[in-house]
């Protein structure tokens, strides 16, 4: 499973990229606003840090506006992935862009039927929102499971990009189901490294080493 980080904070992206485990980045207007920086400037900097796809979201809601903004965004760098909402105009834009060779991430997916439409429109990625699905009384994992089954039934090439990931259990379950990608905040990804027994093991090794009185 590919790991994307969901942030526009440059320091966090650099830290995770240095591990060699980061495959891409997702952003949205809210994350850009939190960074307090210029939208195009921060997107360009992110694209220079990672080799994989960097999702940059259009603001317009109509097809013509989305296409106009997408033209600006895809000039930023070769690894920009245009992010569009799962609406009729969004899928119309998706079809036009992917037919032209541009990667597209269709976001705000909350049903398997929506995911089916996105795949038929040629989406590079579909972003089902697990956490928000859970918040509204549904099981986000059932959504991932249904999309995986449908995509496998018809050999769709659209990658399932699990979004709105809140904790390590979400990551684990997505990996077990077979999501192609997951995107999560930096804190969630860093939390995957942590385990109490790992910490205790390190403490024990260090204590034993100290007793030897040696150094390297």
Q: Which residues are catalytic?
A: 83
Distances (CA, A) of 145 to 2, 173, 177: 17, 10, 6
In 131-166, which positions are buried (b, 16+ CB within 10 angstroms) versus exposed (e)? eebbeeeeebbebbbbbbeebeeeebebbbbbbbbb
Q: Is the dihedral of CA 53, 11, 9, 189 positive or negative?
A: positive
- Rounded Cα distance, 82 and 61, in Å: 14
């Amino acid at each position: 499973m590919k790991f994307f980080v969901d942030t526009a904070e440059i320091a966090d992206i650099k830290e995770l990229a240095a591990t060699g485990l980061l495959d891409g980045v997702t952003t949205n207007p809210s994350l850009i606003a939190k960074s307090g920086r210029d939208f195009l400037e921060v997107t360009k900097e992110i694209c220079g840090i990672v080799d994989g796809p960097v999702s940059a979201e259009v603001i317009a809601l109509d097809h013509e506006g989305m296409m106009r903004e997408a033209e600006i965004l895809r000039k930023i760098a070769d690894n920009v992935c245009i992010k569009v909402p799962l609406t009729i105009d969004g899928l119309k834009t998706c079809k036009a862009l992917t037919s032209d060779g541009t990667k597209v991430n269709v976001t705000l997916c909350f049903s398997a039927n929506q995911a089916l439409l996105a795949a038929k429109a040629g989406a590079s990625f579909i972003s089902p929102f697990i956490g928000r699905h859970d918040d509204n009384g549904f099981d986000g994992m059932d959504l991932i499971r249904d999309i995986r089954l449908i995509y496998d039934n018809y050999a769709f090439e659209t990658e399932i990009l699990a979004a709105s990931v809140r904790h390590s259990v979400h990551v684990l379950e997505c990996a077990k189901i077979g999501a192609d990608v997951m995107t999560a905040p930096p804190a969630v990804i860093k939390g995957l490294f942590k385990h109490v027994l790992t910490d205790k093991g390190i403490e024990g090794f260090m204590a034993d080493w100290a007793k030897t009185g040696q150094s390297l």
